[in-house]
Structure 1
Amino acid sequence: MDQSDVGNDLANILLTEEQLQKRLSEMAGQIDADYEGKDLLLVGVLKGAIMVMADLARHLHSQVQMDWMAVSSYGSGTKSSGVVRILKDLDTDLTGRNVLIVEDIIDSGLTLSWLAQNLRSRGPESVEIAAMLRKPEAAKVDVEVKYVGYDIPNEFVVGYGLDYAEKYRNLPFVGTLAPHVYGG
């Protein structure tokens, strides 16, 4: 899927496929260095982190294990309240493990803050966070993120795992959704 497949649904392309892959490669280099000689468990947050997790893992030169969680945050419409429910929990015991949460995007930080605290309560050696995108202007809580791909403006973005109404996830780039699509 590419830009021509979505017509005028996008206002612009914010980050190209090349930019995303280059930054993931740089992040992977830092992760390889930081976890040299250690076991690392990547924990992806479904569904948005699928693309980031897959590409980040391919850029790593270290052996890693992967597991997935699905969480739902309650709120009104597109706003998170920070009240979280686990829809799919990990299959892996975290005791003594080095855990790296892999996220597609950090908006308010409420759900991610809850998730990091939940995983830290399970007895891991460490819990860190890697996110492809972060919206500093949207932050409601301070979440320490060790690896950040890009800080972006507080705009509605899709592509590279990010969706609107379960569409646009399979675009290889990140774009700003045109307001006529979501009534904005």
Structure 2
Amino acid sequence: MPEFIPVLTRERIEELVVGVAGKICDDYKGRDLVLVGVLKGAFIFLSDLCRHMTIPVQIDFVEASSYGAETSSSGNIKLNKDIELDIEGKNVLIVEDIVDTGLTLSYLVEHIKGFGAKTVKICALIDKRERRETDILVDYACCVVNAGFLVGYGLDYAENYRELPGIFHLKF
């Protein structure tokens, strides 16, 4: 039976999201901004983040995977859904639930740059550096976590536990 060890409460997550939304709005005031959420994990974070924005934004999604039903990345990035908006000449902020190895985000940054975006930056709910395999820069991170396999608030294990209101370290 899995054990769930609390990492972030729903209330703490909201505080962190409000704070990062404020920083993003300050940095992008008066400029075009497209938020590109990485499905499936970032959908809850993106939803809460955009509700706290005080600047106009456009929203799109990509779906990429490298985990499947495992707890570690396969290293093979599969793009299941691409962006649909025209982002040429626009500032793009990729919104991700968690940055772990960095392999998926490194791939996505280069992929999105290929559409002619003016800038491409990264916003993550969690910047987890334990298994980082790239030198990817997370421009906006709500929280830095050193270790653990995390679930809840959109993060999953084999498509389970996304609905949990907080974030938990999953132990088997």
Q: Flag whether TM exceeds 0.5 (same fold).
A: yes
The answer to whether the 8 A contact 2:126-2:144 is kept is: yes
- Unpaired runs of 5+ residues, structure 1, are 1-7, 180-184
- The percent identity for this pair of structures is 45
Assess, with a 3 A threshold, how the Cα gap between structure 1 residues 27 and 74 changes in structure 2: closer, same or farther: closer
Distance 1:111 1:18 in 2: 29
> In the alignment, does 2:42 pair up with 1:49?
yes
The answer to whether the 8 A contact 1:41-1:65 is kept is: yes
Amino acid at match of 1:43: V
Question: Higher mean Cα deviation, 85-94 or 51-60?
Answer: 85-94
TM-score normalized by the length of structure 2: 0.94
Match of 1:27 in 2: 20
The answer to whether the 8 A contact 1:10-1:175 is kept is: no
Number of residue-to-residue matches in the alignment: 172
The answer to whether the 8 A contact 1:104-1:133 is kept is: yes
- Unpaired runs of 5+ residues, structure 2, are none
Match of 1:94 in 2: 87
Amino acid at match of 2:112: L
How far off is 1:49 after superposition? 0.2
Deviation per CA, 1:67-107: give whole Å up to 9, x if none.
Answer: 00011237893332433221111111110011000000011
Assess, with a 3 A threshold, how the Cα gap between structure 1 residues 74 and 22 changes in structure 2: closer, same or farther: closer
Structure having the higher Rg: 1
Amino acid at match of 1:122: F
The answer to whether the 8 A contact 2:127-2:138 is kept is: no
Distance 1:101 1:124 in 2: 12
The answer to whether the 8 A contact 2:68-2:158 is kept is: no
Distance 2:68 2:22 in 1: 37
Assess, with a 3 A threshold, how the Cα gap between structure 1 residues 64 and 144 changes in structure 2: closer, same or farther: same
Runs of 4+ in 1 over 2 A off after TM superposition: 8-11, 72-83
